[in-house]
């Protein structure tokens, strides 16, 4: 008999769906029935990316995929976070309540717990209204949440005004061991067009208060990675790094189908030779920056695996791209999506050129891979600071005065990262620390056990 019925709700972005899907698989392993709720658009993407036939159904055993509308029209841009957050905050509460009632009317077990993304704090109110207990899940770094929770203090100290904008230019470090961050790089001020910033800042402040409705707060991190943040907020429990299964068989809610050819391609490459390049699900490059990166990879003279989403760049010359592909044929492989955890675990990968999303940052840490940091928006600047300043497992690119990272910068930083054995050594230490945390008796293992025991009540 199942331990209980848990509803899981991520913010509708790939970087939030993935860790909560990984957590859902773990809950199924512990005997829970899980209903995973995406937006209607994301649900369709997840279904389209699943393996065909019975394999997907078997891999999802115990997880029921459901969906509700996000309030946006079909043709509206869901990469515009201001617009997305404004719409879902207003429209999704009613749809969620209706879904819960439909599930129970259909004869399925009553939803006992909501495991909700902190960014979907409105759902905590709906859950309480329906008699559902709430567990809060934070998908980014604990340091990021810590800075958000410190907003009232930062306003009181005159660092921020009441609109969330910095009153002075300075570097923040909330506690020893935490990543330093310049006030110009705070996540809520770097998530989209400035005129929509108030939507995200209001959401953060609102969610800080709604988080008090949760009986427990867990996050996808581990003690040794963020000791300073967990000392500052000991009630935030790290249960990571999360991963669905060691054999990479269980789907993690990808929005694009994985190109499995790249794994065979990696098999044919020498150990520690390949530069892996991926910028997550949201970053967009203009044609000039795309070309500089491409030519920089070519200049390294090293094999590279590069994830280029269909919407990664617009307006690129087809003739130029065809010529580039011909020049690097054999040495470089370009795919639209891949199983990143499998790639980073592969013996052939030497380093990771990354946007520094938290999932990517943790996956690199768990596999001991040095990182060349190229943050795009939101909390990625904070993650870069962890990598370059705290853990010292990577370097950061430096754009020129025109804000473009030149091809020679790409070449030189990749070479420096690979040739300096210190980066690999420190990354190896972080890998061992992560492994110890999730192993029997480790801090994440114990926190997860505490979490599961609470959900059984």
Q: What is the pLDDT of residues 110-145, one digit of tens each?
A: 999 999 999 999 999 999 999 999 999 999 999 999
pLDDT averaged over the chain? 96
Percent of the chain with pLDDT over 90: 95
| 8 A C-beta contact, residue 379 and residue 141 | yes
- Fold (topology level) of 261-419: Rossmann fold (3.40.50)
- d(C-alpha 149, C-alpha 175), whole Å: 14
Confidence of residue 56 (pLDDT cuts 50, 70, 90): confident
CA atoms within 13 A on the CB side of 315: 6
- d(C-alpha 313, C-alpha 208), whole Å: 35
pLDDT value of residue 270: 97
Whether 394 shows a pLDDT value over 80: the answer reads: yes
Whether 55 shows a pLDDT value over 90: the answer reads: no
pTM passes above 0.85? yes
Residue with structure tokens 């997860």?
448
- d(C-alpha 14, C-alpha 359), whole Å: 10
Q: Which residue has the higher pLDDT, 55 or 70?
A: 70
| 8 A C-beta contact, residue 308 and residue 283 | no
Measured CA distances, 96 to 17, 37, 41, 82 (Å): 17, 9, 15, 21
Element at 322 (helix H, strand E): helix 318-328
In CATH terms, 5-247+440-456 corresponds, of 3.40.50.620, 3.40.50.720, 3.20.20.140, 3.40.50.2000, to 3.40.50.2000
Whether 422 shows a pLDDT value over 80: the answer reads: yes
In 30-135, alpha helices (H) = 40-49, 54-59, 81-105, 122-129
pLDDT value of residue 363: 98
Confidence of residue 6 (pLDDT cuts 50, 70, 90): very high
pLDDT value of residue 282: 95
Whether 52 shows a pLDDT value over 90: the answer reads: no
pLDDT value of residue 330: 87
Confidence of residue 346 (pLDDT cuts 50, 70, 90): very high
| 8 A C-beta contact, residue 417 and residue 370 | yes
Q: Output DSSP code: residue 109.
A: P
How many CB atoms lie under 10 A from the CB of residue 143? 30
| 8 A C-beta contact, residue 371 and residue 364 | yes
Percent of the chain with pLDDT over 70: 100
Q: What is the pLDDT of residues 438-448, one digit of tens each?
A: 999 999 999 99
Whether 1 shows a pLDDT value over 80: the answer reads: no
**Residue of 72, 89, 75 lying closest to 11 (CA atoms):** 89
- The token duo for 55 is 């394999």
pLDDT value of residue 226: 98
Q: What is the mean pLDDT of residues 346-352?
A: 98
Residue with structure tokens 């310049």?
182
pLDDT value of residue 58: 82
Domain 5-247+440-456 matches domain 261-419 at the CATH topology level: yes
Whether 150 shows a pLDDT value over 80: the answer reads: yes
Domains of the chain: which residue ranges?
5-247+440-456, 261-419
Q: What is the pLDDT of residues 196-233, one digit of tens each?
A: 999 999 999 999 999 999 999 999 999 999 999 999 99
């Amino acid at each position: 008999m199942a331990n209980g019925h848990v509803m899981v709700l991520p913010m509708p972005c790939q970087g939030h769906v993935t860790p909560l899907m990984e957590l859902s698989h773990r809950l199924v392993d512990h005997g829970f029935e899980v209903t995973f709720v995406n937006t209607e658009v994301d649900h369709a993407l997840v279904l389209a990316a699943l393996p065909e036939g019975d394999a997907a159904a078997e891999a999802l055993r115990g997880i029921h995929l459901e969906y509700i509308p996000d309030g946006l029209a079909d043709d509206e841009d869901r990469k515009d976070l201001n617009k997305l957050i404004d719409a879902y905050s207003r429209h999704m509460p009613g749809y969620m309540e209706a879904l819960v009632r439909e599930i129970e009317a259909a004869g399925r077990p009553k939803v006992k717990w909501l495991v909700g993304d902190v960014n979907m704090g409105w759902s905590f109110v709906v859950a309480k209204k329906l008699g559902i207990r709430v567990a809060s899940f934070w998908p980014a770094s604990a340091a990021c949440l810590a800075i958000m929770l410190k907003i009232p203090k930062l306003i009181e100290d005159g660092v921020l005004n009441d609109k969330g904008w910095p009153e002075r230019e300075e570097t923040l470090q909330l506690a020893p061991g935490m990543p330093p961050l310049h006030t110009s790089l705070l996540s809520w001020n770097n998530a989209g067009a400035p005129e929509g910033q108030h939507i995200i800042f209001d959401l953060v402040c609102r969610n800080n208060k709604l988080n008090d409705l949760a009986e427990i707060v867990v996050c996808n991190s581990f003690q040794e990675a963020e000791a300073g943040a967990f000392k500052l907020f000991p009630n935030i429990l790290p249960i990571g790094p999360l991963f669905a299964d060691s054999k990479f068989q269980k789907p993690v809610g990808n929005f694009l189908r994985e190109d499995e050819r790249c794994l065979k391609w990696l098999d044919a490459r020498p150990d520690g030779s390949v530069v892996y390049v991926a910028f997550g699900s949201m970053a967009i490059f203009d044609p000039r920056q795309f070309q500089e990166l491409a030519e920089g990879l070519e200049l390294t003279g090293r094999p590279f695996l590069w994830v280029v989403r269909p919407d990664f760049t617009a307006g690129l010359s087809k003739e130029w791209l065809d010529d580039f592909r011909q020049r690097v044929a054999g040495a470089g492989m370009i795919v639209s999506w891949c199983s990143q955890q499998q790639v980073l675990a592969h013996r052939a990968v030497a380093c990771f050129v990354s946007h520094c999303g938290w999932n990517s940052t943790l996956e690199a840490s768990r596999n001991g891979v040095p990182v060349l940091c190229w943050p795009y928006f939101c909390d990625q600047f904070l993650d870069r600071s962890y990598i370059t300043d705290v853990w010292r497992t990577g370097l950061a690119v430096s754009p020129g005065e025109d804000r473009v990272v030149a091809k020679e910068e790409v070449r030189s930083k990749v070479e420096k990262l690979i040739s300096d054995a210190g980066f690999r050594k420190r990354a190896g230490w972080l890998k061992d620390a992560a492994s110890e945390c999730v192993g029997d008796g480790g801090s994440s293992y114990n926190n997860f056990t505490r979490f599961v025991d609470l959900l059984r009540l």
